[in-house]
Structure 1
Amino acid sequence: MTDADADLPIIDAHHHFWDLGHGRYPWLEDHVIPFRYGDYSALRQRSYLIDDFLGDHGRHRVVKSVHMEAEWDPRDPVGETRWLHALHDRTGWPHAMVGQAWFAREDIAEVLAGHAAFPLVRSVRQKPAAAPSPDAFVAGAPGSMADPAFRAGYRLLSRHGLHYDLQTPWWHLGEAADLARDFPDTLIVLNHTGLPSDRSPAGLDGWRNAMAALADRPNTMVKISGIGVPGQRWTPDLQRAIVLDTIRLFGADRCMVASNFPVDSLCATYDEIFAGLKEITADLAAADRRALFHDTASRTYRPA
């Protein structure tokens, strides 16, 4: 890594904290869920807090961060937001956050108002119902982005000026593009690059076409994060095409990089991810690299 790379400021646009025993994280404390990286028992064994996060940064200059909701007990989605603000008041981290919301719930208006009352909240996330594979996709399935109940809650985001952080497999991005078209005042930030885990030629073709359709909507952005492949170590060679194709489709000013830590510690160290991203983007213009690692996230999440 060059001196210039070491000095490149980073806003980590997607990471998690959790304190096991404080609040409740059903997927970490109560029961094991199907997980895209397979065995995640290592995540269930310890809390992940400020000192862990700062220690993982190593030689990379992480100046600010955006906390992504960590699937806190959905019976109290604003509880996590309250806890994180207390954490910020004590430590200065995180600098912005994405809250949990369930658009079809009867209390969605109250939940969104609750999140919006906190100064660090910029967005909310709900993972819509998703088919396990492209051939199992059913348009308009209950809980999907085309479900009228989902959309009824989603339309309330603009009332509070909140973004939508979307995590879904790429074969649902057509519905995401429709959502962006129908609600042009709400920004959609696609998480984890559309989850391109199938690296076969057919899988990559499907992913690129879906990403291109979403990129055509001007009120969409993407996080280059969470692109691990089950059973394989994160390497620049494995990820190069995904990263560069995403930048080509969306442009650097609509892309931001993120660690997805500690989840992606299952497939790489923090250093492996950020050193790899710096290597992959080494030939880009300096302004584009600055956008990817810092400026896009700064503009989108306005970290305190």
Structure 2
Amino acid sequence: MQQERPELRGARVSPGGVVTSGSYAAYRNDWLALHEEEALEPQLPIIDAHHHIWDSPRPRYMFEDMLGDVKAARHNVVGTVYVDCRSMYRSDGPVELRSVGEVEFANGVAALGASGAYGATRFCAGIVGFGSLHLGARARPVLEALVLAGGSRFKGVRQISAWDSDPVLAPPHADRPPGLLADKTFREGFALLAPLGLRFDAWLYQTQIAELTDLARAFPGTPIVLDHAGTPLGIGRYAGRREELFPAWKRAIVELAGCPNVSIKLGGLGMVVGGFGFNERDRPPTSHDLVEAWKPYVETCIEAFGSRRCMFESNFPPDRATCSYGVIWNAFKRMVAGAGEDEKTDLFARTADRFYDLRLLAR
């Protein structure tokens, strides 16, 4: 009997054959292939600042899948940053150390990329793992184990705090409480990051950005990056309210940008929670379609943070439910077509290289 996939309970299928349930949407290669584009500015160096690699039961996306996407897109992807997604955890041993298996896995993928046998892209050149900061002071041996497993490639920790009272917005593995970033014990664990030379990736919803601002002010010496442009919401109780919600999102982004230790990732807007609905269409969007929908968010972030604190991300495979790898990078390039070369270098590669200390670009 086929194993039940809980993340697809209550799923529905779009006209394009995309299975949608909660924060995940499956994807079909034949649907994505209905629209292809030549790479714009194919020589512009790109460091994909945020992606995942995972196996079932989620829609499978392993190294060979990402390699195929990168090669087919024909953009100049010089390196990538792997971000935690509960992939390949250890099956036994102390529970708090099982996430070390994911860093070991990502480091193995990085070794494939570093071999040069699969092209010039340095996949997983930076690795962001998970270590429960909710352990407080007891998180230190966990963090040290992650550093040991990832070596120089291990750059930091992500502990998802995305939460909303609407169950439609519960992310997969939604085992976090509301107000996580303000929790005293969590902050005891958070205080361990900077002394170990580690950064913090934050994934939360637009309604929680102020919580990150408070955390960043309390720990000005810890580098923080906000994932997915602060995750604008467009499903559940937020559906059909984009114009109403945008000003509050913008105010929160501008206030957060006042914290010099915070950077932001531009992407993640293709996730189901954004409610843009491209995955519901019978044909995938063009890069022009994505620019029209996403440019207000991207422009706001760049204006608030400046190019030196902004980095583009594919957020694949979640955003693969919306478009192909080539199309998403074309969309980003179109959004900043009027920017100077120095600013483009920041947005597409140098900010990520600097923030994660990847050393993939000439200094």
TM-score, normalisation: structure 1: 0.84
Corresponding residue to 1:56 among 61, 66, 69: 69
- In the TM superposition, residue 45 of structure 1 has moved relative to its aligned partner by 4.2
Cα distance in 2, alignment partners of residues 131 and 2 from structure 1:
39
**Matching residue's letter, 2:351:** T
Matched, 1:112 2:143: yes
Report the Cα distance in structure 2 between the residues aligned to 1:4 and 1:239, rounded to whole angstroms. Answer: 18
Q: Give the drift of 1:46.
A: 2.6
Match of 2:215 in 1: 179
The one-character-per-residue Cα deviations of 1:53-77 (angstroms, maximum 9, x if unpaired) are 1221212110111111112348311
Q: Secondary structure at the match of 2:101?
A: helix
User: What is the CA-CA distance between 1:143 and the residue it aligns to?
Assistant: 5.3
- Of residues 155-164 and 112-121 in structure 1, the stretch that sits farther from structure 2 once superposed is 112-121
Aligned residue in 2 for 1:301:
356
1:40 aligned partner: none
Task: Look up the match of 2:161.
Answer: 128
Shift of 1:6: 1.2
1:264 aligns with 2:319: yes
Partner of 1:201: 243
Identify the match of residue 103 of structure 2 among 56, 66, 81: 81
Q: Which amino acid aligns with 1:232?
A: G
- Contact 1:129–1:144 under 8 Å retained in 2: no
Match of 2:329, SS?
A: helix
In 2 relative to 1, CA 253–121 (structure 1 residues): closer, same or farther, beyond 3 Å? same
Q: Who is 1:248 aligned against? A: 303
CA distance in 2, matches of 1:91, 1:204: 39
Match of 1:168 among 197, 204, 209: 204
Q: Would you say 1:5 and 2:5 are equivalent positions?
A: no
Q: Distance in 2 between matches of 1:213 and 1:124?
A: 23
Deviation at 1:128, TM superposition (A): 1.8
How many residue pairs get aligned? The number is 275
How far did residue 129 of structure 1 move?
5.5
Partner of 2:265: 223
Aligned counterpart, 1:66: 81
Equivalent residues of 2:39, 2:74 under 8 A apart: no
How has the CA–CA distance of structure 1 residues 142 and 265 changed in structure 2, closer, same or farther, with 3 Å as cutoff? Answer: closer
Q: Which amino acid aligns with 1:67?
A: Y
2:246 & 2:162 partners in 1: Cα distance? Answer: 22
Coordinate RMSD, CA, aligned: 2.2
Q: Tell me by how many angstroms 1:244 deviates.
A: 0.7
Shift of 1:255: 0.1
Report the alpha carbon displacement of residue 142 of structure 1 after superposing the two structures with TM: 5.4
Q: Any idea what SS the aligned residue of 1:6 has?
A: coil
Q: CA–CA distance in 1 between the matches of 2:124 and 2:107?
A: 8
Task: Tell me the residue number matched to 1:210.
Answer: 252
Contact 2:311/2:349 (CA < 8 Å) preserved in 1? yes
The aligned amino acid for 2:144 is A
CA contact (8 A) 1:189 1:221 kept: yes
1:153 counterpart residue number:
189
Name the CA shift for 1:94/1:3 in 2 (closer, same or farther; >3 Å): closer
User: What amino acid sits opposite 2:125 in the alignment?
Assistant: H
Moved over 6 A (4+): 1-4
Give the letter aligned to residue 304 of structure 2: L
Q: Is the 8 A contact 1:15 1:68 kept in 2?
A: yes
Query: CA separation of 1:193/1:142 partners in 2, compared to 1, >3 Å: closer, same or farther?
Result: closer
Q: TM-score, normalised by structure 2?
A: 0.71
Question: 1:16, 1:129 → 2: CA distance?
Answer: 18
Q: 1:164 is matched by which residue type in structure 2?
A: F
Distance in 2, Cα, partners of 1:131 & 1:147: 17
Using the aligned pairs only, state the percent identity: 33
Q: Name the amino acid aligned to 1:71.
A: R
